[in-house]
Structure formats: C-alpha cells, structure tokens
Structure 1
Amino acid sequence: MWYFYNEFDNDELDNLISQINGVFCSIFMIIEFEYPSWMIGIKLREDFEEFKHAFQLSSQDEKENLADAYRKNIQIDNVCNLSVNPVSYDDLLLDASQDFMRCINVLKSIQAYLYDNLLKLKGLIEAVGTLKNYYDKFYVESVDYVCPFCGLGTMLTSKDKFREAFDHYFPRSKYPFVSLLRRNLFPICHTCNSTYKGDKNPRDYGKVFYPFSTEDNDCEPVFNIRAGVIENIEITSQYFQEEIETWNEVFGIKDRVKNFADENLNGWMSNIQEAMKNYNVDYEYAKNAEIDCCKLNKMQDNKFIKKAILEAL
C-alpha cells in the first residue's frame, strides 16, 4: 500500500456490530440472551433462531471449531501478519454432520444479510446511517486523494452522489464473520476492486498489508530509466518487503504504475524543458524544482510517481 488508512470513531456502527457479535457469542456459549430490540420482526432474527437451533444440534467438536473460527477471523491485523490462520467455510465443512452443514448454510445467509440488507432498514438508517454515510465519513477521515492500493485511481468524494465499493479484504464468500467487520471493510477504486482483486484471497499469496496499520509507511517506487525509456520498476521498503510481494501479486501494482509512468514520462520531461526556457535555469535546477513541487500532497495528481521518475532521470 502507498499509504495506510486512519482508524476513526464511528460509535453508531460499532455499537450495532457489537450487538450482532454479542448474539453470536451468546449462542456459542449456550447462554440465555435477549435479541436487540431492532431485530424484532426482521429476517435476521429468524435466521439467528435457525442458526442457534442447528448449532445446538451439532457435535461438540463442531461447536468448538465454529467458536474458534469467530475468535480468529475477527483478528484481521493478526491474520494479515500471519500470526493467526483464519478459518474458512471449507475448513469448517470438512467431514461435517448434516446439522452442522445446515448451521453453516444459515450462517452464510446471515453474513450476506448483514452486508447486503441490514443498513437498508428504515429504523437502522435513522439510527446508524447507510453504507454511503459510512463511506462519506471514511473518505473525510481516511482517504488521501487516491486509492491506497494502486495510487492511480481517484476516489469518489464524500460530496459525490455515489460511493466507491467497499472491498471485503478477506472474502466474505470464503470466511465467516467478516461480512460486517470494519477492519475487513474499506473502499478501494473500481479497477483494484473489480478488475484485479475480485474474489482473490490475499492470504493465499503470503504476508499481507494491514490497511489500518499505525506503522510508518516507507513504500516508494524506484525506476530504472535508460536513454529516456523506463526499463523496470521496483518498490522499496525497509519494513514491508513480504507484504509488497503479495500486494503486487493481487493488484498487479508494478505493471500498472510502470504503464502509467510510460504514458506520462515525455510530458514530465517537457515540464523540465519548459522551466529551463522560461526561467533561464539549468537542467538540474529545473528538475530539482519539479521534484520539490511533488513533495507536498504527494498522493494528489500522482505526484509520488512523478517524483520517483524525475529522481531516476
């Protein structure tokens, strides 16, 4: 990633997710509980009742495995750094009983409902807001002009009528309990989301960037240019070399950034020539002035790529 998202408060949505997770935990612990009042009369409560019934009929090992999957899969940061192995639906269904298979099928229905339908209910829209409301706040608090995965695609702003799609970093089709989980849910540009990542599972490729990391992000593109032609690109980092390899495999970053730089190289070089002519300065002075201009708001207008290109000339 070229930059990490900032974590930010969203008390209403966090409280809603906490209530949902509380229902799951109560079912796993087989204790008496009351459903939140907003669940009364909606499909979600009916599904939870069916899920609870099938869960209670499952074997003890199956119950423990599902509770373990919940504990592991919500630890997105540890799943990213390989210290926790997430549990997939396929893992859970290996040699499963009929009751447990029914339990998992209902769980899939619940997970789909949580993301696709829950925040469309009138009462919850008024209390929590829609995914568009969440996107608007996410953009203001955490988006730096462009998609952090490619650095190329501009993101729809909080003032736009529509929003970018939220990506389920670890696919909800593969893993339970990640459908409505803020740390697994963030916007990326359409090209990254639909063209490159799709339903790919980042963990299949190795260590993964944690998108909400508080570490310093030192990833930089470095180009090798000979006779005015870009020969190759590398992405350097002191801390994230393993993550960079996965990032490139999933999103095709090196080729995409190189192609963008190829398209713009002549224009960036022309800017230097114009500055030399207009301000009567030498090549190095004009080039360094252009580089300095790229250091402010570096993600805006792809300036971080332009800066790397100019430094390679």
Structure 2
Amino acid sequence: MGLYSQQLLDLKALRDKIGQIDDHYRQFMAINHRGKCPFCGITDMLGVYHSKREAYDHYLPKGIYPFNSINFRNLVPACHYCNSSYKLAQDPAYSSKDPAGATHRRKSFYPYTTAGHNIEISIDLSNPDIDNLTASDVQLTFGPTAISEELDAWQDVYGIEERYQAKCCSNDAKDWLEQIRIFRDEHGIDPEAAIATIRQQANKDLIANSNFLKAAFLEGCNRLGIWGSDL
C-alpha cells in the first residue's frame, strides 16, 4: 500500500540513497537562481535565502502514475498558482476531454530536459486606452510552430494565456509604460529606442522583471501607435 507513498521518502535507507527533498529543493533553486517559477516565469519562488520552500508538483499526476510519485525526476518545485490553482491533477501528456468525452495524447515540455526551448511571444492590443485595458483586448501569439503542440499543452495546463493577459492589464504593465514616458519626457529618449533597449535586456535575461512579457507588451503598444498620445 505504501510502496509509492510520500512516507517512503522518510525511510533512512532511502534518504541515504537518494537524499532528502529539502536538499533537492536547495540544489534546484541554486540552479534556478532567477527566483521565478519554472512553469509560468512570472511568479516569485521561495529560494535559498528562505527558511521555507515551495511545494513540489507531481508533473505526471500521482493518481494516474503512482510509480512516479516519489521519482525526483517527476517532482518539480512550482509556484502556488501553477501547482494549486491551475495544474492541480491535470495530465500534461493528455488533452482535456473533448465534447465526445475522449482524451488524446500530446507532446508536452519535460521540466528536467537539458535542451532549451526558445519560446516566442508576441502581443497585439486592440485598445489604445491602456488604463482601461481588459483581457479581451490582449491577443497573445506563441511560437515557434515547431513546438506548437508542447506550447498548447503548457498553456492548457498552467492557464498561461489567461495569466499573461492579466499581467498585461495589471499595474505592472502600467509601470512599464510609465518607464517609457519618463524616458521620453524626462530624458528625450524616443520610445522606439527605449523599447529596443528593453528588448536587449530581455535577450540577455528573459526572466528578470518579466522582461520576456514586458518587451512583447511594449512592442505591441508600439505597433498600436500609442506614443502620439499622453501615456
């Protein structure tokens, strides 16, 4: 009964063999040193300087794959929102049920892969009134098409589109625009030049300050031509 239970990790013989989960977490966060959730990229994670840690997600749900329930290559630290609000017990390897009640196998990202994926995000806005932007005004496009199936699974499991739309409608996005206004009005820097600098920052570090989303949002604002108005 307890062969695949979490209590098995408390056995001294097993701890001596594979280590303790707290040690695993510290090692994970030492590598994931940007301090952001590896699934959504926008939520802060408790790190090496915290006395507490984030919960572990069973990437392949333990209710479906019990033999992987204590496999450290299936246990992944995730932020509360990814783990407990969005993913829950969803299976990344299978789509949600279609109207006929069937599920379908699909490709999905593997958290511990050593191969990187250069995910492309483009944002288009349909409303120039940024102060009253709603989620329906924010259209996101993800690429490249070569990994479209993995991207669809990622968006489905972690509510990525909804969460990124919400971020673009938040005070954070208004602050991004305020930075462009300050560059323009206080320092005489053209908005397009300021955005080019932000894109350079994003290319250097996509995760810091949500640069990957910030750059895409500001580029969307630029395409909409909002700079002629008062930001």
TM interval, shorter chain, is: 0.7 to 0.9
* Alignment correspondent of 1:270: 178
- State whether residues 218 and 238 of structure 1, in contact with CA within 8 Å, keep that contact through their aligned partners in structure 2: no
1:265 and 1:292 mapped to 2: Cα distance? Answer: 18
1:211 and 1:123 mapped to 2: Cα distance? Answer: 27
- State whether residues 140 and 161 of structure 2, in contact with CA within 8 Å, keep that contact through their aligned partners in structure 1: yes
* Aligned match for 2:143, one of 224, 236, 248: 236
* Aligned match for 2:79, one of 175, 183, 189: 189
* Alignment correspondent of 1:137: 27
Higher gyration radius (CA) = 1
- State whether residues 132 and 162 of structure 1, in contact with CA within 8 Å, keep that contact through their aligned partners in structure 2: no
- State whether residues 9 and 15 of structure 2, in contact with CA within 8 Å, keep that contact through their aligned partners in structure 1: yes
Shift in Å at residue 131 of structure 1? 0.8
Shift in Å at residue 241 of structure 1? 0.2
2:13 and 2:108 mapped to 1: Cα distance? Answer: 37
* Alignment correspondent of 1:87: none
Residues matched between the structures, number: 203
2:107 and 2:203 mapped to 1: Cα distance? Answer: 29
* Alignment correspondent of 2:120: 220
The gaps in structure 1 that reach 5 residues or longer are 1-105
1:174-213 map, 5 Å: 174-205=64-95, 206-213=106-113
Amino acid at match of 1:295: N
* Alignment correspondent of 2:226: none
Q: 1:183 to 1:126 in 2, by over 3 A?
A: closer
* Alignment correspondent of 1:286: 194
* Alignment correspondent of 2:225: none
1:294 and 1:207 mapped to 2: Cα distance? Answer: 27
Cα deviation, 1:51-98, whole Å, max 9, x if unaligned, reads: xxxxxxxxxxxxxxxxxxxxxxxxxxxxxxxxxxxxxxxxxxxxxxxx
1:66-215 map, 5 Å: 106=1, 109-112=2-5, 116-121=6-11, 129-142=19-32, 144-205=34-95, 206-215=106-115
* Alignment correspondent of 1:79: none
Shift in Å at residue 278 of structure 1? 2.3
Compare 160-169 and 173-182 and name the one that shifted more.
Answer: 173-182
1:141 and 1:159 mapped to 2: Cα distance? Answer: 14
Quote the RMSD (CA, aligned, Å).
2.1
TM-score, L = length of structure 2: 0.79
Residue aligned with 1:202, SS = coil
Cα deviation, 1:207-232, whole Å, max 9, x if unaligned, reads: 21122223331212211123245431
Q: 1:177 to 1:257 in 2, by over 3 A?
A: same
Residue aligned with 1:183, SS = coil
- State whether residues 234 and 254 of structure 1, in contact with CA within 8 Å, keep that contact through their aligned partners in structure 2: no
Amino acid at match of 2:86: Y
2:29 and 2:143 mapped to 1: Cα distance? Answer: 27
Which has the larger share of helix?
Answer: 1
Percent identity over the alignment?
Answer: 30
TM-score, L = length of structure 1: 0.60
Q: 1:127 to 1:214 in 2, by over 3 A?
A: closer
2:14 and 2:44 mapped to 1: Cα distance? Answer: 30
* Alignment correspondent of 2:101: none
2:107 and 2:17 mapped to 1: Cα distance? Answer: 38
2:195 and 2:61 mapped to 1: Cα distance? Answer: 44
The gaps in structure 2 that reach 5 residues or longer are 96-105, 223-231
